[in-house]
Structure 1
Amino acid sequence: MAAAIALASVIVAGLAVHAFLPDTSATDIAGDALYAVAAYSGIVLLAPRLKPWVVALIAGAWCVAVELFQLTGIPLALGGLLPPVMLLLGTVFDARDLVIYIAAVVTAGLIDAAVRRPGKLDE
């Protein structure tokens, strides 16, 4: 239940950042971090028994794969046909996003580990 609430909250926050705030570096970074946390939360929702470090690894791999997929130009083309696709696949590659994704999933994993078993961050 907590993962579902986290995922819904992160999605709402991400959509709010996208819709209501000006397009700046700060909102881009916030959106990237929220995207990564949404990926993390979605994996926890689908596989709640996975250890936080495994979830972080999978979420990080997903985010990196999506970012690298943008190098093909396919997400940009699909986004032109169906704009909501841009929210899932992005549009153009930005190496800075890779750093933000990894930082966000590591942070989410540390928080998750602390919440699941206080005092046991090494799971």
Structure 2
Amino acid sequence: MSRATAAVAVALTVVAGLGIRAAASGDLAKYAGDALYTVLIHALVVLIAPRTRPLPAAGAALAFSWAVELLQLTGVPGELSRHSTVARLVLGSTFNAPDLFWYAVGAGAAWAVHRAAGARAVARPTGPTAVSASAGPAPRTSASR
């Protein structure tokens, strides 16, 4: 996946997160936000390292999301969140066990989209070598003998 595609994914994920918060409330908005948080981390991983394959990128995003959630058990993110909006958005404030499941849902969704995007890129080779490679060997002519 290219950096440009990953950057678009980052922007779309942020827009989706803001949109779901504006359009919905309660558990729907909260858990969609959790899933989108992991999707955003996945997109950021690919933005930083575009050659990262789908499964390692999803695994890294899930591990990061779970680490942040488990860190909330220490109280440190809660304290930082009281003093900083950015800390509240990135670290949250209180541990909630169901969030762990929704992070996995987000990682699965990000993996599926990343894998599909990679499959499409492989299926559509471009450039002069793609044409000759897909056309097979050049026919023999009397001039080439």
Q: TM-score, with normalisation over the residues of structure 2?
A: 0.76
Q: Secondary structure at the match of 2:52?
A: coil
Q: For structure 1, which runs of at least 5 residues remain unmatched after alignment?
A: none
Is 1:65 the counterpart of 2:67 in the alignment?
yes
Q: For structure 2, which runs of at least 5 residues remain unmatched after alignment?
A: 123-145
Q: Distance in 2 between matches of 1:117 and 1:8?
A: 22
Q: TM-score, with normalisation over the residues of structure 1?
A: 0.88
AA aligned to 1:114 is A
Q: Distance in 1 between matches of 2:12 and 2:113?
A: 16
Q: Which residue of 2 aligns with 1:81?
A: 83
AA aligned to 1:42 is L
Q: Distance in 1 between matches of 2:103 and 2:77?
A: 18
Q: Distance in 2 between matches of 1:42 and 1:84?
A: 17
Measured after TM superposition, the shift of residue 10 of structure 1 is 0.8
Q: In terms of mean alpha carbon deviation, does 8-17 or 93-102 score higher?
A: 8-17
Match of 1:108 among 90, 110, 119: 110
Q: Distance in 2 between matches of 1:48 and 1:22?
A: 33
Q: Distance in 1 between matches of 2:74 and 2:58?
A: 25
Q: Secondary structure at the match of 1:117?
A: helix
Measured after TM superposition, the shift of residue 104 of structure 1 is 1.1
AA aligned to 2:77 is P
Q: Secondary structure at the match of 2:85?
A: coil
Q: Which residue of 2 aligns with 1:28?
A: 30
Cα RMSD for the two superposed structures? 1.5
Q: Kindly tell me the number of residue pairs found equivalent between the two proteins.
A: 118
Measured after TM superposition, the shift of residue 13 of structure 1 is 2.3
Is 1:17 the counterpart of 2:20 in the alignment?
yes
Identical amino acids, percent of aligned pairs = 37
